[in-house]
Amino acid sequence: MKYLKTLLFIVLTSQFLNAQSESPYEWKWKKDGIWTGTAIAGNALGVSIIANKEPFSIEEINQKIANRDNINFLDRWVAGNYSKNASDASDIPFALSFAAPFALLLDDKANDHSFQLFGLYFESLATTSALFTITAGLTRRARPYVYNTTEKSLQSKQKVTATRSFYSGHVAATATATFFGAKVFQDFHPDSPIVPYVWAGAAALPAAVGYLRMEAGQHFLTDVLIGYAMGAVVGYWVPELHKKKSSEFSLIPTMDQNFYGENYQAISLRYQF
C-alpha cells in the first residue's frame, strides 16, 4: 500500500510537470472582439480624416518661419532640423521593435499561449494606431522641417504630411511593442533576474527612435514625449487589464517529512486570489 501511494504521487507529479504552462492572462472573445473592432474602426476614421486635411499654404509656411521664436522653449531647438539619413535610420529600430515581442515564442512558458499573446499584441498595436491616426488627423502642427530654410524644399512643406507633427507615431508604436514584450515577459517570469534588463531595453529602443525623429526634423521634443507616454501606457496596460483576477483552486502534490522523521505524501489544496 505504501508503494502504491508513492507511485500515485509520482504519477500526479509527472502530470503537473508536463502540463501546459498557465497563462497569467485571459482572453474574452466578446469583450476583446469589440475592443479590437473599435480600434480598427478608429484607424479607418483617422485615416479618413487625414486624407481630407488641408496642407499648409505658402503664406502659412512663411508666417511660421517668421514666428519661429514663438515656439515654446522645449521645442524651439528642434525647429529647422532636417536629415534624410536620420529619418531612414529611425526606421531601423522602429521595424525591429515590432519583432521584439515575437522573441517570446522562444520562451517555453509563453509559447504555449502564442495565439492568445498574438491577439493581445494585435489589440495593443491597433489601439495605439487608432489613437495616433485620429490625433494626427484632428491636429495641424507643422513638422520641424517646415522651419528649415536651406535644405527642405517648399514643395515638400506643402504636403499634408507636413501638418502631422503631433504626435510621434513612430515612437508610440515602438513603445507599445517593446513595453508589451517586457510586460508579458515579466508576468510569465516575475522572479527572473533579467527582468530589469528587459525593461531597460524596452525603454531604450523608443527613446532612440525619438532622438532620430527629432534629428530628422520629423517631430519636436513634446511630440516625442507624448508619443512615448501614449505608446508605453498601451503596451503596459493592455496585458495588465487582461490578467486573471478571479479566485481559483488548484491541487498540488507534495512530499515531506514530519516531526518524527516519517515520510509522507499528500495532495495540497491551494486557493489563489
Q: What is the pLDDT of residues 227-247, one digit of tens each?
A: 999 999 999 999 999 998 755
- CA-nearest of 119, 221, 132 to 172 is 132
> pLDDT per residue over 27-81, tens digit each?
999 999 999 999 999 999 999 999 999 999 999 999 999 999 999 999 999 999 9
- Rounded alpha-carbon distances, angstroms, from residue 171 to 78, 86, 92, 131, 223: 16, 14, 12, 13, 9
Residue 119: the pLDDT is 95
**Phi/psi at 235 (nearest 5 deg)?**
-60, -30
Task: Convert the chain into a string of H (helix), E (strand) and C (coil).
Answer: CHHHHHHHHHHHHHHHHHCCCCCCECCCHHHHHHHHHHHHHHHHHHHHHHHCCCCCCHHHHHHHHHCHHHCCCCCHHHCCCCCHHHHHHHHHHHHHHHHHHHHHHHCCCHHHHHHHHHHHHHHHHHHHHHHHHHHHHHCCECCHHHHCCCCCCHHHHCCHHHHECCCCHHHHHHHHHHHHHHHHHHHHCCCCCCHHHHHHHHHHHHHHHHHHHHHCCCCCHHHHHHHHHHHHHHHHHHHHHCECCCCEEEEEEEEEECCCCCEEEEEEEEEEC
Question: Residues 124-153: what's their mean pLDDT?
Answer: 95
For the chain, the domains span 25-242
Task: Please count the other Cβ atoms lying within 10 Å of the Cβ belonging to residue 123.
Answer: 22
* Whether residue 123 has pLDDT greater than 80: yes
Q: For position 130, what pLDDT does the model report?
A: 97
Considering only residues 10 and 136, tell me which one the structure prediction assigns the higher pLDDT: 136
Whether pLDDT at 268 is above 80: no
For the chain, give the mean pLDDT. 87
Q: What is the mean pLDDT of residues 14-25?
A: 62
pLDDT value of position 245: 78
Distances (CA, A) of 224 to 12, 129, 144, 178: 53, 15, 12, 16
- pLDDT for 20 beyond 90: no
Check residue 101 and give its pLDDT. 84
